[in-house]
Amino acid sequence: MSVVSLIGAVFEALFLVALTGLGMALVSGATTVGPMWGQSLSLGSALAAAAAFLLGRTAMVVIGAWSTARLNAAVTREERARLAHSYLATGWAIQHNEPAGRLQELLTTFINRVTLAVNALNQAVVAAVSLTAFLVAGLLVDAIATAAALGALALIALGLIPLRRRIRSGAVASAKSNLNFAGSISELGALAMEMHTFGVRKRFVERIDRDSDVTVETQRRVNFLTYALAPIYVSIAYSALLVGVGAFALVGSGELAVIGAVLLLMLRALAYGQQLTASMGALASHLPFLDSITSTTSFYENHADLSGTEQPQHATPLEVVNLSYEYAPGKNALQGATFRVERGEAVGIVGPSGAGKSTLAQLLLGVRRPTHGELLVSGTPLNDIDHAWWAKRVTFVPQDARLLTGSAAENIRFFRDHIDDAAVRDAAAKAHILDDLEKLPQGLDSHLGERGGRLSGGQRQRLAIARALAGRPEILILDEPTSSLDAVSERLIRQTLSELKGETTILIIAHRLSTLKFCDRIMVVERGKITSLGAPQTVQKESPFFRRSIDSLDTDLPLGFESIAVSSQEEGTAIDS
């Protein structure tokens, strides 16, 4: 790029010198142009040389534009890939803690600003090289006048340094403000239903307007300084040029063609100096966005999720030994959990909200690493297990099903290309969603709308279960899968789980007593500790919490857990309080 710019600038300088000579020769009636650098040319030769120089400059401009476009595209692709890949390589705990909307803002607005920074740097290099070429040409024509102009340009550049620093500090504040605004918009967008329900649309508008005003005002100050930088430079440079012309008039002129060439070269150099100043100002405003991208990418790369290499024969038995997890020092979400789950067993996990049930599920999935203790898979520590191997054998169904914008088959397959169509249909049948999907216009290939919006809540949850079953897992972990479903959807999900019992190891965090009917054992988690674990009837006798949950049914049914569970099937009694 620098070479192309230099060649283009030399062609332009030669063109201007030739053009000036031609003009002066025509005005004076001369038949030759020059002498310039000790050479004289006929008018025809000078005209042909000027045309050749112009064509050469045009060619260099086109090559430079092509190179710039290619460079910008490469930078955008490379920076986006590096940021996205490093983010996806981190563990779930890092991704879960990422502020809402931040990654999207970094991958779009911030990457665009990085591209603009590269473009500004490229323009600065082009301007600097071109300015140098014109100054060299000026020195060859008239060394004294050009040296004076060069000194003036240097003084101007030094005087504008504080202004560029102000632009840089303002851009830092602007970058931070943009991230905050993106997070605020993402948060409010996720609360659209609540906005309508509670009638707070006006307050939402006020909040967005306030956050937007902060962002816009911060950027306005940066833009003002950036836009003012180049005009200030030009005004000072024109003043210096005017002083130079006055000096020529006082001292007396030499060759008219030489003076004209010097003035024309200095004016063109002034234009490149303006471009250089503007580019440096733009670069100062864009660099904080590059700093944010670089620091974020480095953070992700330093927190890459490390995988083991062990691949046991089976995923069970699953043994938890004195397992603890702290979200912050001294703040235990789970303490001293110890239990063993055998192959094909169904274990229900209950407890009040915030007791540590979901944290336990995340530890079992391997998306969080325990602070203390061990989780053994067929006797092998989970930290030593190959992540890809574990992911094929253990799946998860969250409380709120999240679907892709695509077809039912794509949602069930979920980027796992090794799962064929037969496995997709089989999983849909086991989840009792196949009949519903086959009623759609294109069956399993039917588009489900934006994030599965064409399906009901119960259908979405059963589709999420089908997704989990498509890989034929050995262990299925569910986090309150029926907490907000209607009685029909809940019954179908219970039927699916009952049919899987014995074939698949199931651990289910339960919100309703009816969901626990099929479980072999019940685990009660309170205040981060396992307070009871055993057969349903045993836990009913041992656990005051579980007993209070059953007593809240206000029924005279016998104490046997199964009878109570049957009674509560349609009632959907909650046990999280």
What is the DSSP annotation of 330-380? TEEEEEEEEEEE-TT-EEEEE-STTSSHHHHHHHHHTSS--SEEEEEETTE
Q: How far apart are CA 137 and CA 131, in angstroms?
A: 10
Prior bond to 35 cis, omega within 30?
yes
Prior bond to 317 cis, omega within 30?
yes
123, 174: one domain: yes
Q: How far apart are CA 430 and CA 466, in angstroms?
A: 7
- For the chain, the domain total comes to 2
Residue 23, pLDDT score: 72
376, 252: one domain: no
Residue 248, pLDDT score: 57
Picking from 150, 219, 160, 210, the residue whose alpha carbon sits closest to that of residue 184 is 210
Eight-class DSSP state of 327: E
Instruction: Show pLDDT as tens, one digit a residue, over the chain (577 residues).
Output: 678 877 887 887 778 777 777 777 776 777 777 666 567 778 888 888 888 888 888 888 888 888 888 888 888 889 888 988 898 888 888 888 888 788 888 888 888 888 888 888 888 888 888 878 777 777 776 677 667 766 777 777 777 788 878 888 887 888 788 778 777 777 776 666 666 666 777 887 788 788 888 888 887 887 787 777 767 766 776 676 666 656 655 555 555 556 666 666 676 777 777 788 888 888 888 888 889 899 999 999 998 888 889 999 999 999 999 999 998 887 889 999 999 999 999 999 999 888 999 999 999 998 889 999 999 999 999 999 998 899 899 999 988 888 888 899 999 998 888 999 999 999 999 999 999 899 999 989 999 888 788 888 888 888 999 999 999 999 999 988 877 677 788 888 888 888 888 889 999 998 777 778 889 999 999 999 999 999 998 998 899 988 887 766 544 333 344 444 443 444 444 454 3
66, 90: one domain: yes
Does 573 fall in a domain? Answer: no
335, 225: one domain: no
Does 563 fall in a domain? Answer: no
269, 154: one domain: yes
Does 97 fall in a domain? Answer: yes
Neighbours of 358 (CB within 10 A): 19
Neighbours of 81 (CB within 10 A): 10
SS3 38: coil
419, 502: one domain: yes
Does 561 fall in a domain? Answer: no
Residue 566, pLDDT score: 41
Does 572 fall in a domain? Answer: no
What are the contacts of 533-537 at 24+ separation with CB within 8 A? 533/339, 536/561, 536/562, 536/565, 537/561
Residue 568, pLDDT score: 42
Eight-class DSSP state of 481: T
381, 512: one domain: yes
Beginning with the edge strand found earlier in the chain, give each strand of the sheet holding 380-381 in spatial order. Answer: 331-341, 318-328, 372-377, 380-381
Residue 374, pLDDT score: 93
Helices marked H in 190-255: 192-198, 201-251
Q: DSSP of 488-556, one letter per residue? A: HHHHHHHHHHHHHBTTBEEEEE-SBGGGGTT-SEEEEEETTEEEEEE-HHHHHHH-HHHHHHHHTT---
User: Cα 421 vs. chain centroid, distance in angstroms?
Assistant: 32
Backbone angles phi, psi at 455, to 5 degrees: -100, 155
298, 336: one domain: no
CATH number at residue 474: 3.40.50.300
Residue 275 structure tokens: 């471009």
Length of the chain: 577
326, 292: one domain: no
Place of tokens 């503007």: 278
Show the domain range for 139: 1-303
Does 499 fall in a domain? Answer: yes
Reduced DSSP (H G I as helix, E B as strand, rest coil) percent helix, strand, coil of the chain, to 5 = 65, 15, 20
Please return the burial class of 497, using the count of CB atoms within 10 Å of its CB with bins 0-12, 13-18 and 19+: buried
Strand (E) or helix (H) holding 39: strand 39-42
CATH number at residue 246: 1.20.1560.10
428, 299: one domain: no
Contacts of 228 (CB under 8 A, 6+ apart): 163
Residue 33, pLDDT score: 73
276, 327: one domain: no
Does 567 fall in a domain? Answer: no
Domain final residue, candidates 303, 334, 354 = 303
Strand (E) or helix (H) holding 575: none
- What are the tens digits of pLDDT across the range 382-404? 999 998 899 899 999 988 888 88
The predicted model scores a pTM of 0.72
Distances from the Cα of 360 to the Cα of 92, 93, 322, 493, angstroms: 14, 13, 12, 22
Neighbours of 198 (CB within 10 A): 10
Strand (E) or helix (H) holding 447: none
Neighbours of 241 (CB within 10 A): 17
Does 313 fall in a domain? Answer: no
β 39-42/32-36 pair status? antiparallel
294, 328: one domain: no
